[in-house]
């Protein structure tokens, strides 16, 4: 990631605490004009000495520290955001896989259960028929064994 020159200068100044103008200009030789302009306009660093010369001592101002802190927090927030996005995408993918797996296996269970349900219905019908036949047979046997029941049943049927 290419950092802004201001951020690099502020990070360098944070490490050094107190430094001279000559030190910062030698550390960033390609940016001499920008650094001089920023320091002269009081937008970067706070001079400790009254006059600004090559030997002038400088330090980070409170504003510079807050700028650097804001940048670092923004950088961390972006990292966290990317990490959260990655976790979200992975969890959505896993949820979809689980959903498809569940749908596939629920259809498989329904298909397996249907034939057995049909067989059990047929068995219930045949069991009911057998029970009705057995009941009729028992009634006929009882009528044969007890002639009085036959007379009662004839009277009740009329």
- For the segment 2-12, what is each residue's pLDDT rounded down to a tens digit? 567 778 788 88
The per-residue pLDDT for range 76-126, each reduced to its tens digit, is 999 999 999 999 999 999 999 999 988 877 766 655 555 555 556 667 777
Which pLDDT score is estimated for 1? 43
42: left (phi over 0), alpha (psi -120 to 50) or beta: left
* pLDDT tens figures, 120-138: 666 777 778 888 888 888 8
- pLDDT at res. 78: 94
In CATH, the architecture of 5-60 is: Orthogonal Bundle (1.10)
pTM (2 decimals)?
Answer: 0.48
Largest alpha-carbon pair distance within the chain?
A: 138
Q: Which residue has the tokens 């920023």?
A: 38
């Amino acid at each position: 990631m290419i950092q802004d020159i201001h951020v690099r200068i502020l990070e360098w100044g944070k490490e050094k605490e107190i430094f001279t103008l000559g030190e910062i200009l030698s550390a960033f030789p390609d940016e001499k004009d920008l650094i001089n302009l920023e320091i002269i306009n009081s937008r970067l660093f706070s001079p400790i000495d009254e006059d600004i010369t090559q030997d002038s001592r400088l330090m980070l101002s409170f504003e510079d520290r807050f700028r650097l802190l804001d940048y670092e927090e923004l950088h961390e927030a972006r990292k966290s955001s990317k990490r959260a996005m990655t976790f979200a995408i992975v969890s959505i993918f896993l949820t979809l896989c689980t959903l498809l797996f569940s749908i596939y296996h629920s259809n498989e269970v329904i298909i397996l259960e249907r034939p057995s349900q049909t067989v059990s219905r047929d068995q219930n019908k045949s069991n009911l028929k057998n029970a009705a036949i057995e009941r009729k047979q028992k009634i006929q046997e009882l009528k044969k064994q007890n002639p009085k029941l036959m007379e009662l049943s004839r009277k009740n049927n009329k």
